[in-house]
Amino acid sequence: MKTMNRFNRLLTAMGATAFILCGCEQNDSNPVDEAPVAARITSTIAAQNTTDNDRAPSTRASETSWANGDLIGVSASSTTGTTSYTNIKYAATGTAGNFAVVNAAGEDNDIYFQDQKSTDFSAYYPYAGTNGTLPGTDGILERTLTAADQASASLPAIDYLWAPAASASSAAPQVKFNFQHSMSRISLNFKEGDDVTFGDELTYTLDGLVLEGTFNTLTGATTSGTAAGKLENLSVATGSSQGAISYLILWPQTVNSATLTVIVDGTTYRAAISFRELPGSTSQEKGLAGGYSYLYNVKVNKTKMIIEEAIITPWTKDSEQDVDAWN
């Protein structure tokens, strides 16, 4: 009898050991539960609809691609899971649209999937604030645009971009953002007319546009203020073989016209820039639409200045416009 009891205890112990080993094999067969999986961030910048065949580069303000080191803010949340991150800083690792998380020494700020649930990601550019906290006021950035902001090197800082939700999971961790322009852009292409020579540089002022506005990093939406302002003494180099082109990034807004004043060799020329009807407007409102680029050819003659009808391209270009101006 004692021998039988020992035998039964031995079988029980062997069974328990087999159960434990089986459980270990099951855990090892699901490494996602054991090793954290980080999101992999890539991106493109959308080319929007166009009204004609004249397309401008549909990238950010650099006109080429992402620049190495460009910073975006990435947020992630899963409605049925436990993954939740806010405004995590990622940097472009080159010009191809790949991004890596920014870590100080000893930090690991990567976004990790906390479970196997699908997770929604959104992003904006340029980065503001700190990791873990919404930028600005509840994710809304306020800014008053200045003439200094319109310098070529400064334009990327006001070229607000936003990427809508993109889904990923631990099983498919690549997140591909499609960024869209939230701001409006005006391109002024200055041309020498009859009996006029620009020299090395000309200056101009644009008056009558709202310069205060907000950008919502959560939705990509913008708002503009109510008081019109003035961008004064903007300079344009005129010696380039590409012509004398000046780019302005502005808040989308409802406005009928603005006044352009150009000074060439001490002579002042003025003209009204008339804006086109806003896309989708049911009340024939005119102005600058978000994601649209408006090209105006400005021809300065001895007796007057002509601004051609606007061309819209992607961003989305308006058609070309002429504007007459007199000194």
Q: Are residues 194 and 312 in the same domain?
A: yes
Instruction: Give the whole-angstrom CA distance, residue 76 versus residue 2.
Output: 64
11 inside domain: no
* Helix, coil or strand: residue 116: coil
Q: What is the pLDDT of residues 75-128, one digit of tens each?
A: 999 878 789 999 999 999 988 889 999 999 999 999 999 998 999 999 999 999
Q: Are residues 175 and 209 in the same domain?
A: no
Res 319: pLDDT: 52
Instruction: Give the whole-angstrom CA distance, residue 54 versus residue 47.
Output: 13
Under DSSP, the state recorded for 235 is E
Q: Are residues 193 and 322 in the same domain?
A: yes
Q: Are residues 211 and 270 in the same domain?
A: yes
Q: What is the pLDDT of residues 244-275, one digit of tens each?
A: 899 999 999 999 999 999 998 889 999 999 99
Confidence of residue 52 (pLDDT cuts 50, 70, 90): very low
pTM reported for the whole predicted model: 0.82
Give the number of domains in the chain.
2
Side-chain-side CA neighbours of 310 within 13 Å: the count stands at: 25
317 inside domain: yes
By residue range, what is the domain housing residue 200? 184-326
- Of 181, 211, 231, the residue at which a domain comes to its end is 181
CATH at 147: 2.60.40.2620
